Amino acid sequence: MKTDRLWALLFAFSAIFATGSFIYSRNNADWWLLPNVSSMGREIDHLFIIILVITGVVFIATQIVLCYAIWTFADAPGRKAHYVHGQMKLEVIWTIIPASILVFLALYQMGTWSKIKFRSSLPKVQPVAEVTGRQFQWMFRYAGDDRRLHTDDDILTINDFHFVMGEPTIIHLKSQDVLHSFFLPQFRIKQDAVPGLTIPVWFDSDTAGKFELVCAELCGWGHYKMRGNVTVHANQVDFEAWLKKTKTEQDRDQLALVNAVNGG
């Protein structure tokens, strides 16, 4: 039937919808990549966009070929199919070109990947906190005045993470029960917290402000609400002040508790 070639429109429609939704969402803060605040996030976004462009071009090209083929080669009276089993030259071309693009893509990622995750590229700084995932909360342990973790003057917070802008920051990530995943969408950082392992994670921020911490690995019935607040302080002084304030509150609460226990 002659109208059969109209099927090309259906496939074209889906391709236009796909391409269009990416183009359209670019201008909508609710849809596109969240505004990035970290230095590795910039590199990750760059890699994302490169892949998006390459795959976008391949996608559009294949869909055009597909729709053109449907439109042009639809059955019609007198049409005869071209009797051909294949062509070696074409096979070689469409093997070598995608292969080189894929190898390029893989190699192009390596630098960023090793910079973010390899132990050898961890910045030489003290960890700002030990972060422990537990059903269904994030526990943060900061060092007190002695600058050492797991001593009596440690400062503990729940779902409240603070660090300083502009400085490479390390956390030691642990789990107390099941798998969790430490995900900072505005920083493009994700690392699973694994029972029995202590995993150092580093990142930084070029913006002070408040952000969100997501648990990205299914951890039980309350997984959806395992959310943390992230506060990036503009400078070390602000951070120290917050630390001091928290420490004072913590000491006061503990004192009250001790007094209560002692019947005071």
Among positions 156-175, residues that touch other proteins (CB under 8 A) are none
Query: Phi and psi (nearest 5°) for 66?
Result: -60, -50
Q: How far, CA to CA in Å, does 180 sit from each of 135, 218, 228? A: 9, 7, 13
Question: Smallest gap, in angstroms, from Cβ of residue 62 to other proteins?
Answer: 5
Helix (H) or strand (E) holding 105: helix 88-117
Measured from the CB atom, the residue of 87 and 262 that comes closer to other proteins is 87
Of 191-220, binders to other proteins (CB under 8 A) are 191-192, 194-197, 199, 212, 214-220
Of 51-70, binders to other proteins (CB under 8 A) are 51-52, 54-55, 58-59, 62-63, 65-66, 69-70
Give the one residue of 168, 209, 227, 259 binding other proteins; rule: CB under 8 A. Answer: 227
Q: At a CB cut-off of 8 Å and minimum separation 6, what does 156 contact?
A: 139, 140, 141, 142, 250
| Cis peptide bond N-terminal to 118, omega within 30 | no
Q: How far is CA 219 from the centre of its chain?
A: 18
Question: Smallest gap, in angstroms, from Cβ of residue 19 to other proteins?
Answer: 10
Cβ–Cβ under 8 Å, residues 74 and 4: yes
Give the one residue of 137, 157, 169, 186 binding other proteins; rule: CB under 8 A. Answer: 186
Q: Is 122 in the site for other proteins (CB under 8 A)?
A: no
Question: Smallest gap, in angstroms, from Cβ of residue 68 to other proteins?
Answer: 9
Give the one residue of 123, 168, 209, 222 binding other proteins; rule: CB under 8 A. Answer: 222
